[in-house]
Amino acid sequence: MASQTNNTHDPKIIVALDYADEKSAWDLVKKLDPTLCRLKVGKELFTTAGPQFVEALSRSDFGVFLDLKFHDIPNTVAKACRAASNLGVWMLNVHASGGLEMMQAAQQAVNQTANTPLLIGVTVLTSMDQDGLNKIGIQTDLTMHVLNLAKLTKQAGLDGVVCSALETPLLHEQFGKDFCLVTPGIRPDNANRDDQSRVVTPSAALHMGSSYLVIGRPITQAADPLKALKTIHTECQSTYKHH
Ligand code: C5P
């Protein structure tokens, strides 16, 4: 298991760099403060900007969450995780539904690299509902399925899961504070909801047990992204003080 605090500040906010090209991403990154946030690179930006971009971003002071959600046979995922770890990222993820063996192979592979990032399992995508789950042949209740996949993730020795903030109280109670819960769908009270329907404020998410908050548009689309980041950071800090 990797250290969750490989940065003295351990900022809780992960800004989603949902951009189609490297230049737009750098333009935003230059405005942000690495003591207040980390950065998430997803499939679109990775596919256009490539591993060199991720490596350069990781060499800057920002911790990078490489959100590629690997899911394949154990040997392939292990090699992909090793390659990702060697880019210097702070966090990466795999689909828990790839199974115990796949997750164990992934964990073993990152343990063998000089940089040991946090390795996180994706349980059930929040775009999936009970009907969608039934249609792929899974008749289990959705929350139970999330819980089962989180148990498997923990058993494989991974550091935590990506989950909806609404699932955090249950997962926090089951697995304790050392199991990292990474939650998207976060909106400050005054922010536009965009296409997110079930949203939670940053402080509510932290209260419910979230370890890290993935936040995109409330920061990336703000007129002053640094100001938006600072406001959310201040809200998070006061949550900790009152914990
Ligand atoms: O702009 P916004 O804050 O909605 O961005 C959230 C980020 O988290 C995006 O990168 C999105 O793909 C990701 N995400 C999500 N909901 C999930 C899983 C990931 O919004 N269930």
Inside any domain, residue 77: yes
Dihedral, 107, 211, 184, 102 alpha carbons, nearest 10: 10
Which stretches of the chain score pLDDT less than 50? Answer: 1-7
Which pLDDT does position 7 carry in this prediction? 39
Q: What is the 3-state secondary structure (H, E, C) of 191-230?
A: CCCCCCCCCECHHHHHHHCCCEEEECHHHHCCCCHHHHHH
The domain of 147 spans 13-242
| Rounded CA separation 57/51 (Å) | 10
Say if pTM beats, i.e. exceeds, 0.85: yes
Which pLDDT does position 1 carry in this prediction? 45
Which pLDDT does position 243 carry in this prediction? 53
User: Tens digit of pLDDT for each residue in 128-174?
Assistant: 899 999 999 999 999 999 999 999 999 999 999 999 998 999 999 99
The total of other beta-carbon atoms located within 10 Å of residue 120's CB is 25
- Count of structural domains, the chain: 1
Which pLDDT does position 242 carry in this prediction? 57
With the most atoms of ligand 1 within 8 angstroms of its CB, the residue from 40, 41, 146, 214 to mutate is 214
Residue 194, ligand 1, Cβ within 6 A: yes
Residue 215, ligand 1, Cβ within 6 A: yes
Inside any domain, residue 109: yes
Inside any domain, residue 191: yes
Inside any domain, residue 227: yes
CB 82 within 8 A of CB 58: no
